[in-house]
Amino acid sequence: MTSPERMLDTDICVIGAGAAGLSVAAGAVQMGARVVLVERNRMGGDCLNVGCIPSKALIARARAVAEAARWPELGLSGAAPMVDFRAVKDGIAQVIAGIAPHDSPERFRSLGVEVIEADARFLDRNRLMAGDRIVTARRFVIATGSRPALPPIEGLERVVVHTNETIFSDRMQPEHLVVLGGGPVGVEMAQAHRRLGSAVTLVTSGSLLPTEDPELVAVIRARLLAEGVVVLEQARAVAARPRSSGDGVRLHLAGSAGAGQVVEGDQLLVATGRRPVTEGLDLAAAGVEVDAGGIRVDARLRTSNGRIFAIGDCIGGIDGAAPQRFTHLAGHHAGIVIRQALFRLPARVETRAVPRVIFTDPELARVGPTEAEARAIHGDIRVLRWPFAEVDRARTEERTDGLVKVLVGRRGRILGAGIVGEGAGELLQSWELAIREKLKIGAMAGLITAYPTRAEASKRAAGQAFTELLFGSRSRRLVRLLLRLP
């Protein structure tokens, strides 16, 4: 017999206090629902503690060093900054500490959320054990996130491996950092550490940023090489050994570009992907299906148990697509669940216009398909471009790398946009809105953009759709005819 004090009945029980879970809990409780939130580790999840916040704080400090290196070309002089790596990491910790109270158990309890700091596992389809409490709820929301996935490399267990979960708390600056993985995390961290003074070798088994448009990636690759990052593409790590000195790592490579090579460094960062966190939940007891990509959900984020939703990084792909693990998408998921669980409104996940930003310098941002993906789906498309080298604001700052690239369908509808350049993530928002609202390219071409701003590149790219119409021979004949009229 279960004692009454151990029983807890609620409207919504959220498992996981990362970005997705916190958004559901805060939104639901402020709308009048009874909410239980269960978290076994730190509130705020990866984004606050070991992901978005510390990585962008590190990138900001690395960028400051890089900006100082540009002083001579801008006609400025002064002593180059000295990097105090320990102080840099202390500063990152302070940023996290400044945000942490917003995500803390105390704040959520003050909102009226019942916070249980314990492990969680399902007892059956309707009950959850959280610590020593048994929770029943009208709806459960699984938001347990993801964690780094280590590749199957011989001997990797014999060397010290950093992931995003440890790299930001290590106060020791690497003399030579080896980064394994050419995705967003690997590329961002490679550039940041190089700017802070470490030698960096980036090793990837495929191409750099393989899910992005190669034309845009070429700009990032060129910048990394120019800044001194050694980039080894098509080079697969097959074995890891400690260095003869006893610390650090020796990576043995294979592949078309890496056969027989050995890369040595005193620190190794592995950024080769992530896997959903589902272990320990006993999802089988709850009737929740899981596959290799994560918890299986439909387009409304419902699991195979109609009482249970799953959101954020722990889910697999939707409608056959690959999983997308972004903090902003987790927030979107939270809104979809709240609309259904509280208001009984049908809601589906947005899949056409999900923005993504890689926070290198310059940034790479995209919404919608790449050019190759768009051609595979739509066949004949138009590709419009405008380089930042022809934008006055970029010229004044002498930061002219990159371009705006827009994909347009047969009837003028905007299908996708990619930007590589300074502030690309901010410039992307207008294209996201255009795609969501199913606008045609003329709407963007007709914008009045403030001068001088980088947004001019977006307007100019859109205007390319009408260049031939406006300045072609037919237009010139028409103008000559009209000018003859009295």
pLDDT in tens, 347-400: 999 998 999 999 999 999 999 999 999 999 999 999 999 999 999 999 999 999
Average pLDDT rounded to a whole number, residues 83-107: 98
Going by pLDDT thresholds of 50, 70 and 90, the confidence category of residue 3 is low
CA torsion 467→469→472→475, rounded to 10°? -130
Strands (E), 248-303: 249-254, 262-265, 267-270, 274-276, 290-291, 294-295
Question: What's the pLDDT at 131?
Answer: 96
Going by pLDDT thresholds of 50, 70 and 90, the confidence category of residue 481 is confident
Question: What's the pLDDT at 255?
Answer: 87
Q: Which of 85-89, 252-256, 424-428, 448-452 has the lowest mean pLDDT?
A: 252-256
Write out the H or E segment, with its range, that includes residue 356: strand 356-358
Average pLDDT rounded to a whole number, residues 49-56: 97
Going by pLDDT thresholds of 50, 70 and 90, the confidence category of residue 5 is low
459 is in an annotated binding site: no
Question: What's the pLDDT at 1?
Answer: 47
Structural contact between residues 352 and 434, judged by C-beta atoms closer than 8 angstroms: no
d(CA 434, CA 427): 12
Average pLDDT rounded to a whole number, residues 431-435: 97
Token pair recorded at residue 294: 């994560």
Average pLDDT rounded to a whole number, residues 277-289: 97
Q: What is the pTM of this model?
A: 0.95
206 is in an annotated binding site: no
> Is residue 217 over pLDDT 80?
yes
Which residue is associated with the tokens 């009209």?
482
273 is in an annotated binding site: yes
With both helix axes pointing from N to C terminus, report the angle between 52-69 and 85-99 in degrees, rounded to the nearest 10: 140
Specify the 3-state DSSP secondary structure of 115: strand
Token pair recorded at residue 221: 């690759």
Average pLDDT rounded to a whole number, residues 399-422: 97
Write b or e for each residue in 346-384: b if 16 or more Cβ atoms lie within 10 A of its Cβ, otherwise e: eeebbeebbbbbbbbbbbbbbbbbbbeebeeebeebeeb
Structural contact between residues 126 and 287, judged by C-beta atoms closer than 8 angstroms: no
186 is in an annotated binding site: yes
> Is residue 63 over pLDDT 50?
yes
> Is residue 476 over pLDDT 90?
no
Q: Which of 1-10, 140-149, 162-171, 229-238 has the lowest mean pLDDT?
A: 1-10
144 is in an annotated binding site: yes
Q: Backbone dihedral region of 301: left (phi > 0), alpha (psi from -120 to 50 degrees) or beta?
A: left
Mean per-residue pLDDT of the chain? 95
Question: What's the pLDDT at 86?
Answer: 98
184 is in an annotated binding site: yes
CA torsion 233→56→363→146, rounded to 10°? 60
185 is in an annotated binding site: yes
Structural contact between residues 45 and 145, judged by C-beta atoms closer than 8 angstroms: yes
Going by pLDDT thresholds of 50, 70 and 90, the confidence category of residue 321 is confident
Question: What's the pLDDT at 4?
Answer: 65
Going by pLDDT thresholds of 50, 70 and 90, the confidence category of residue 145 is very high
Of the chain, the percentage scoring pLDDT greater than 90 comes to: 90
Burial tier of 47 (Cβ tally within 10 Å: 0-12, 13-18, 19+) = buried
What are the chain's domains?
A: 4-43+104-148+275-343 (3.50.50.60), 156-272 (3.50.50.60), 356-471 (3.30.390.30)
Q: Which of 7-11, 24-28, 157-161, 482-486 has the lowest mean pLDDT?
A: 482-486
145 is in an annotated binding site: yes
Adjacent-strand bridge partners of 383: 407
Query: Which residue pairs from 62-67 have beta carbons closer than 8 angstroms and sit at least 24 positions apart in sequence?
Result: 62/191, 62/192, 62/193, 62/195, 62/196, 63/195, 63/361, 65/195, 65/196, 65/197, 66/195, 66/227, 66/361
181 is in an annotated binding site: yes
Specify the 3-state DSSP secondary structure of 187: helix
